[in-house]
Amino acid sequence: MYIADLHIHGRFSRGTSKDLTIKNLEKYARLKGTDLLGTGDFTHPEWIEEIKADLTEQGNGILETKTGYPFLLTSEIALVYTDEGKGRRVHNIILAPDLGTVEQITEWLKSKGRIDYDGRPIFKIPCEEFVEKLTEINPKVEVIPAHIWTPWFSMFGSKSGFDTVKECFKDQTHKIHAIETGLSSDPQMNWRLSQLDKYTKVSFSDLHSFWPWRMGREATLFNGEKSYDSILTQLKENSIQGTIEVEPAYGKYHYDGHRNCNVVMSPKESQNAGGLCPKCGKQLTIGVEYRVEELADREEGYVPKDAPEVFKLIPLSELISAVYKKGVATKTVWEVYNSFVKDKTEFEILLNEPFEELAKIDAKLAKAIIMNREGKIRVKPGYDGVYGEPLFNGEKIKLTKAQEKQEKLNC
């Protein structure tokens, strides 16, 4: 089993770190414990040159750095068009098996518009035409609808989306095998829609920086060898091992709300308000939970047979920030973070390291890590572009007497 984050961006995408290089991606992927990364943005002319300079094709759909860290060719494309009289804005992830295929995809997109202004360019291409053409270029190209519930830019988004996969991809629907659930939803929410049963539910970070609180915050667990064909088979057969998720309330669009008025509402509350902000009277941004409830044909709590594993984890830096009440990028948080990842990756710390070993470093944080692992940290829901906030059942994390003793020994 290995951990893969296949939806990322390079430094030429809007809103990304200018230090987001292949070298930094590898450095922090190794620290995080992410075993495979997407390249992101392979259509951008400058980024693809950096990919070619820093990575070497291995002949199995995997590219490696000089030190052997693996990448898989990926990109994200925004499709903005009109369908049946309604404006549609859908983002799709592309997986490609080799650089030759990437060149052909890029040439076709250049015939439709510009690719040089953003790592995630926008095209006026319907989803069905997009899939048909890419799979004509190479049948191994895989298109995955990205963050499918996000209000503004997704297949099911409340602002511009469709109600079914078939409405979106029409006669090319049979070529869609997986969906990305996004930060504001998780597999459990998607299991409530029977129309999604046949699709593999994948999770990726959609990172815009290489920092460990962004990289791998959501990821997918694949089995077997790292190769393009193996990954493609698991996506088509719905046979992945599982996913790593943040609690969906952490996502920026989980609840309904209006950021400018500091108004956040549950689906029931916004329904009672007629979808309008009680402060300014304008339309609320309808979030993911509302939209899932609107399309679901099963009750909450439904679990399919042989469902993949789901691990819900708040990133370690975010835990440290919440416990120490310091900014996530501050010196204090980095010092504590580095003390935990000296000999282990972050994922090993979050998923496997026993409390006794964690407590030797910091008992209070060790308690938070175990609470995180056991799903006992509540999250104040995010809304209208505002991230959710971890809560620890009150302002303080209570330690048992044995844990308090260990903390005193540490001091």
d(CA 58, CA 306): 34
Please determine, for residue 406, whether its predicted confidence score (pLDDT) is greater than 70. Answer: no
Which alpha helices (H) appear in 287-362, and where do they start and end?
288-295, 316-324, 331-340, 346-351, 355-359
Residue 181 is encoded by which pair of tokens?
Answer: 């659930």
* Span between the terminal Cα atoms of the chain, in Å: 38
Can you list the pairs that 294-297 forms with residues at least 24 positions away whose Cβ atoms lie under 8 Å? 295/156, 295/163, 295/193, 296/192, 296/193, 297/192, 297/193, 297/194, 297/195
- The β-bridge relationship of strands 86-95 and 142-145 is antiparallel
Mean pLDDT calculated for residue range 204-231 = 97
CA-CA distances (angstroms) from residue 1 to 59, 241, 242, 293, 371?
21, 7, 10, 33, 24
pLDDT band, residue 78 (cuts 50/70/90): very high
Q: Are residues 16 and 235 in contact, defined by beta-carbon separation less than 8 angstroms?
A: no
User: Mean pLDDT over residues 324-334, rounded?
Assistant: 94
Structure tokens at 146: 């990205």
For residue 252, what are its two tokens?
Answer: 């920026």
pLDDT band at 391 (very low <50, low <70, confident <90, very high): confident
Residue 63: closest CA among 11, 32, 28, 102? 102
Instruction: For CA atoms 129, 135, 137, 143, give the dihedral sign.
Output: positive
Cα–Cα dist 277/270, whole Å = 8
In eight-state DSSP terms, residue 400 is: P
β-pair partners for 201: 179
Query: What's residue 138's pLDDT?
Result: 98
Average pLDDT over residues 217-245: 98
Q: How does residue 393 score in pLDDT terms, banded at 50, 70 and 90? A: low
For residue 390, what pLDDT is reported? 87
Domain positions in the chain are 2-249, 315-382+392-411
Query: Is domain 2-249 given the CATH code 3.20.20.80 in the classification?
Result: no
Measured distance CA(155)–CA(144) in Å, rounded: 10
pTM of the model: 0.93
Averaged confidence pLDDT in the chain = 94
Residue 86: φ, ψ to 5°:
-120, 140
* Type of residue numbered 92: N
Q: Is the dihedral of CA 210, 183, 119, 169 positive or negative?
A: positive
* Over residues 219-239, mean pLDDT: 97
Question: How confident is the model over 6-57, as pLDDT tens digits?
Answer: 999 999 999 999 999 999 999 999 999 999 999 999 999 999 999 999 999 9
E strands, 51-118, where? 56-57, 62-64, 70-72, 74-83, 86-95
| Consecutive H or E run containing 144 | strand 142-145
pLDDT tens-digit profile of 143-194? 999 999 999 999 999 998 999 999 999 999 999 999 999 999 999 999 999 9
pLDDT digits (tens, 9 = 90+) for 45-62: 999 999 999 999 999 999
Give residue 375's region: left, alpha or beta (phi > 0; psi -120 to 50).
left
Q: Using CB atoms within 10 Å of the CB of residue 167, give its burial: 0 to 12 exposed, 13 to 18 middle, 19+ buried.
A: middle
* Contacts for 299 with CB less than 8 Å, ≥ 6 apart: 192
Q: What is the rounded average pLDDT of the residues 352-361?
A: 96
Q: Report how far residue 295's alpha carbon sits from residue 194's, in angstroms, rounded to the nearest whole number.
A: 10
- pLDDT for 392 equals 72
How does residue 264 score in pLDDT terms, banded at 50, 70 and 90? very high
Residue 400 pLDDT level (bands cut at 50, 70, 90):
very low
